[in-house]
Amino acid sequence: MMKLYGLNNCDSCRKARAVLTRHGVDYVFVDLSRQPPDAATIGEWLDSVGEDALVNRRSRSWRELDDSARQRAAVELLAEHPKLMKRPILVRDTAVMCGGGEQDWLAFATDN
């Protein structure tokens, strides 16, 4: 089953959930603030999509970090600050997708 990782108050995550639900896609929503992924999972995502795709360097959370925090390894940083991840994160089997829009989410969800 596909998982959609995000935040309840994130507009993109709400849109993704609405699109997937409207198109009958079976998924489980995981709130990153309540159930943050462990470092091993984050490492797998980084291996799959890369640091530039997963770390949201345009977010307010990123801008609020000091320079020393920004220099930390991405796995450590994201484990400590899951809000820094680009959202939504869709995971199906071993495939991972971050961000995107309606067509991207549907294509990912329905790709066999």
Question: Among all residues, which ones are annotated catalytic?
Answer: 10
Based on its alpha-carbon atoms, the radius of gyration of the chain, rounded to whole angstroms, reads 14
Quote the CA–CA distance of 1 and 39 in Å, as a whole number.
21
